[in-house]
Homo-oligomer: A and B are copies of this chain.
């Protein structure tokens, strides 16, 4: 019996030590969920980001200015633009894509084209609701600058793909502060490798589960047996109530009932998800992949609220095939062999959302409205309570991620 007591005491001390252990964070590498000991399933790529899918490039333009009361048209401004290029900025052509709408009170321009032909051209853009139009038209303008004034070359860029979530709690959304130059800046900034998360780009003014949200990303490498493909996700997380927040099975939202936004619970918000893969998948299979973002969202506790624009897009960077006349020859995955890709899509979406929340820092916007960042130690405390904190939290040092 004595030894039992001793073991109990030793455990308690160890736990206390862990609780006090400071989380070390490199200056230029903000913390991500895994760095805090949050356990996830599956094996991520080098950057644990959508850019692990070769060719994918992400760029942000972040607009933060002003403070104090809302002066519509003047600010304060907490918004931005994110560009996600499937095959890099210099590529002009189609990739295969599919869209699923879990709840449609949002916008994704370009969707009808993808639904009909299974093809996506140009980047997928994320922004705030008030700026969808300028982002859409500016994508056309950017290609005009890029490709020159040639209607034949530009024809493929007539239907840009722009999604949004609503940042009106922190941002002067109706002021429509995004300019063409901001869109160009986001597109010009696109690169592979590490992806900034949190309050950047389109995610600048976003809120998730009543914590500061925004951009998050993650990836999964399929086993060699399943083809060794890469699946990556990037989200703009702006949805969910506190009570629903679940991380790795732990009811974090019920554990942290304080730290609410300054005016109480927000509306439903929205979740944008883009899933990329280098697996050769046909458009109708990509629609199925996109649907699985629903499962990823559900694992974090989301239920797709009635005013939530939960719109998910999946694309494949695999060569759509060499056309010979009207015939295309292509290789693609058997529709009955999609499970590893489905699973990777679920898991990457789940982790990307959690990363968006973990990356969140407290922000004050219009009218002094304030949203709290999720404190790392509170998250760890909750995970520990339910036996889910990974035992040796350490900073992810992604070798090979540039």
Seen from chain A, the residues whose Cβ lies within 8 Å of a Cβ on chain B are 4-5, 8-9, 12, 70, 72-73, 101-113, 115-119, 129-138, 140-141, 144, 149, 151, 154-155, 158-159, 166, 168, 173-174, 176, 226-227, 246, 248-251, 268, 280, 282-284, 288, 291-292, 294-299, 302-307, 309, 311, 323, 326-339, 342-343, 346, 385-388
Q: How far is the CA of A259 from the CA of B394 in the complex (A)?
A: 35
Tell me which of B5, B115, B149 contacts A9 (CB under 8 A).
B5
A327 pairs with B334, CB closer than 8 A: yes
Q: Are B332 and A144 in contact (CB under 8 A)?
A: no
Query: Can you list 11 A-B pairs with a CB-CB distance of less than 8 A?
Result: A8-B12, A105-B117, A109-B132, A118-B335, A249-B249, A294-B298, A296-B298, A298-B346, A306-B336, A328-B332, A330-B332
Instruction: Specify the chain B residue showing the minimal Cβ separation from A254.
Output: B41
Q: Chain B contacts of A132 at CB under 8 A?
A: 109, 133, 136-137
Task: Name the 4 nearest CB pairs between A and B, nearest first.
Answer: A249-B249, A104-B116, A133-B137, A298-B298
Chain B hits for A115, CB < 8 A = 101, 104
Instruction: Give chain B nearest CB distance to A293 CB in angstroms.
Output: 11
Give the distance in Å from the alpha carbon of A102 to the alpha carbon of B135 in the complex. Answer: 27
A342 close to B111 (CB less than 8 A): no
| Contact assessment for A138 and B149 in the assembled complex, using a CB-CB cutoff below 8 Å | no
Q: Which residues of B contact A158 (CB under 8 A)?
A: 129-130, 166, 173
* Chain B residues whose C-beta falls within 8 Å of the C-beta of A331 in the assembled complex: 327-330
Chain B residues with Cβ below 8 Å from A116 are 101, 103-105, 288, 335
Q: Report the Cα distance A251→B302, complex, angstroms.
A: 19
If A137-B176, A342-B304 touch, whether A109 touches B109 (CB-CB below 8 Å) is yes
